Amino acid sequence: MNKEKVICKCYHVTKGDVAEAVKAGASCYKDVKKATKAGKACGKCKKRVKKLTKKLVKGK
Ligand code: FES
């Protein structure tokens, strides 16, 4: 996983940020959204963030 890859352009949230949020206890998209703001603006990244969150939570 490229941690530097921006997954949410509106808030400049990277894949690494999402991974951090999951590490810190986020277990679903809603938690990640709260922690990183990903998806709070245009919402275009929602699907991507959801998918990545699921993957990361599974791999925990
Ligand atoms: S790209 Fe994430 S809210 Fe716009």
Domains of the chain, by residue range, sit at 6-58
Ligand 1 atom nearest residue 38's Cα: 2
41 in contact with ligand 1, CB cutoff 6 A: yes
Confidence (pLDDT) at 8: 98
> Across the chain, how many H-helices and E-strands are there?
3, 2
32 in contact with ligand 1, CB cutoff 6 A: no
Confidence (pLDDT) at 1: 87
CATH fold, domain 6-58, is Arc Repressor Mutant, subunit A (1.10.10)
45 in contact with ligand 1, CB cutoff 6 A: yes
Confidence (pLDDT) at 27: 97
Q: Return d(Cα 22, Cα 57) in angstroms, integer.
A: 7
Predicted model pTM: 0.94
Tokens matching residue 24: 């810190």
Distance 36 CA to ligand 1 centre (A): 11
Q: Average pLDDT of each block of 10 consecutive residues along the chain (60 residues)? A: 96 98 98 98 98 93
Cα three-residue angle 44-45-47, rounded to 5 degrees? 100
Return the bridge partners of 14, or none.
Answer: 6
